[in-house]
Amino acid sequence: MIRRAVIKGVGHYLPERVVPNSYFEDIVDTSDEWIRTRSGIERRHFAADGETTSQMATSAARAALENAGLAVDDIDAIIVATSTPDLTFPSVATMVQSELGMTQGFGFDVQAVCAGFVFALANANALILSEQVDRVLVIGSETFSRILDMSDRATCVLFGDGAGAVILEAQIGSGTVADRGILSADLNSDGRMRDMLYVDGGVSTTQTAGRLRMQGNPLFRQAVGKLTETAEKALQKVGLGDDDVDWIVPHQANIRIIQGTAKKMGVPMDRVVLTLQDHGNTSAASIPLALSVGCADGKIKRGDLIVTEAIGGGLAWGAVVLRW
Ligand code: ACO
162 and 46 inside one domain? yes
300 and 168 inside one domain? no
- How many of the other CB atoms lie within 10 Å of CB of 273? 23
Look at residues 133, 155, 173 and tell me which one is the last residue of a structural domain.
173
pLDDT tens string, the chain, 324 residues long: the values are: 899 999 999 999 999 999 999 999 999 999 999 999 999 999 999 999 999 999 999 999 999 999 999 999 999 999 999 999 999 999 999 999 999 999 999 999 999 999 999 999 999 999 999 999 999 999 999 999 999 999 999 999 999 999 999 999 999 999 999 999 999 999 999 999 999 999 999 999 999 999 999 999 999 999 999 999 999 999 999 999 999 999 999 999 999 999 999 999 999 999 999 999 999 999 999 999 999 999 999 999 999 999 999 999 999 999 999 999
| Domain boundaries, position 159 | 2-173
Task: Give the Cα separation of 161 and 218 in Å (integer).
Answer: 24
185 and 169 inside one domain? no
Look at residues 109, 143, 173 and tell me which one is the last residue of a structural domain.
173
Q: Which residues line ligand 1 (CB under 6 A)?
A: 30, 34-35, 38-39, 113-114, 153-154, 157, 197, 216-217, 219-220, 223, 253-254, 257, 281, 283, 312-313
137 and 188 inside one domain? no
Task: Compute the radius of gyration of the chain from its Cα atoms.
Answer: 18
Nearest CA to ligand 1 atom 13: 154
201 and 167 inside one domain? no
Among candidates 237, 231, 263, 236, which has minimal Cα distance to 249?
A: 231
240 and 286 inside one domain? yes
Q: Which helix (H) or strand (E) element contains residue 133? A: none
Task: State how many domains the chain has.
Answer: 2
23 and 158 inside one domain? yes
Q: What is the dihedral of CA 54, 59, 65, 67, to 10 degrees?
A: -140
Nearest CA to ligand 1 atom 12: 154
Q: List the beta bridge partners of residue 188.
A: 317
187 and 282 inside one domain? yes
Would the pTM count as exceeding 0.95? yes
Task: Give the Cα separation of 157 and 155 in Å (integer).
Answer: 6
Task: Give the Cα separation of 106 and 85 in Å (integer).
Answer: 17
Distance 154 CA to ligand 1 centre (A): 5
The CATH number of whichever domain residue 130 belongs to comes to 3.40.47.10
Task: Give the Cα separation of 52 and 191 in Å (integer).
Answer: 29
Q: Which amino acid is at 124?
A: A
Phi-psi region of 210 (alpha: psi -120 to 50; beta: other; left: phi over 0): left
DSSP notation for 143-170: EGGGG--TT-HHHHTTB-EEEEEEEEEE
Look at residues 173, 190, 211 and tell me which one is the last residue of a structural domain.
173
Query: Cβ neighbours of residue 203 under 8 Å, at least 6 residues apart?
Result: 88
